[in-house]
Amino acid sequence: MKKKLDNKMSDAEFNERCKYMKFVLAQPNNFPSSLHVCKQILAVEDVWQYSIHYCPKLHKIYDKLDRSCWKHNAHECCGVDGCMERRFNTKQTTAGFVVYPRYYFLYFGVERAIRHLYANSEFPSLRASALARSRDDIWSGELVRRMDEQLGGKLLAEQSVVARDGQKVFLRKAGLLDVGYDGAQVWQHKKHGVGFLLARLWDVPFEVRGKEQFTHLICLIPGPKEPDYWALQKIFLVPLINELTDLAQEGITGNILCWIPCKSYTTLVV
């Protein structure tokens, strides 16, 4: 799979290579026979399950639709105020009739990011560290103070407990997950802007906050142009706000509190 990426091989070429290797190796063998088998072995997720389709005129976001149902809805249109923009494009290939969304973005979600953070073996110990809330850090600033007041003191509440190894550590009642938006040009040979939302953990020592393991991609907007502020509000931030609202009401395991101070950024209080 790494060779496929490094050599920019097409799926068809990669499948041919797999078949050839499986044929020339001593029989019987368990060499993967196709790209599909490789993905199964590696448990690669289908990125389309995270896709959210929207009208190109930004009239609406379509309801989630399983990929197996795309062909049955190939002629679906927007319908808002008589808009006839189609949801899908269709293409005839050697493998058959292919249906794919015209306009979409990928939303991976805040809950997924939080679960990945807690699955990180370093995170619990770093979060319990005394350095996780430095006096000269954001935790002593005006922003956190105002959030703590609105949440009735739940944000800064903590409890001294004894860990399994006998050390005294702090059990945090709440943590901060900062969600920010940015854009980038991903190719040098052409103009193609990509937008993305990142979730970064604030509840660890300052020195490690910027590390990759504590930063998660929660949304990718393919472009080719970076969305303007109006499109962000009307389309691309809608799943984020909806999920934050659900987390505030339902939680994951325990209580999740949501605090949205202004339009420019969103902070999730865990």
Model confidence at 69: pLDDT above 80 = yes
Q: What values do phi and psi take at 238, rounded to 5?
A: -60, -50
19-23, 172-176, 193-197, 242-246: the lowest-pLDDT one: 172-176
Nearest Cα to 248, choosing from 257, 240, 239?
Answer: 257
pLDDT of residue 172: 80
Cis peptide before 205 (omega within 30 of 0): no
In 154-165, which positions are buried (b, 16+ CB within 10 angstroms) versus exposed (e)?
A: ebbeeeeeeeee
For residues 57-71, give the mean pLDDT: 91
Q: Is the pTM of this model over 0.85?
A: no
Q: What are the residue boundaries of the structural domains of the chain, listed by start?
A: 2-42, 47-103, 108-269
* Exposure of 96 in the CB half-sphere (CA atoms within 13 A): 3
pLDDT of residue 127: 84
**Across 52-81, average pLDDT:** 91
Judge whether residue 258 has pLDDT over 60: no
Whether 124 has a pLDDT exceeding 50, the answer reads yes
Give the chain's radius of gyration (CA, Å). Answer: 23
200 in Cβ contact with 177 (< 8 Å): yes
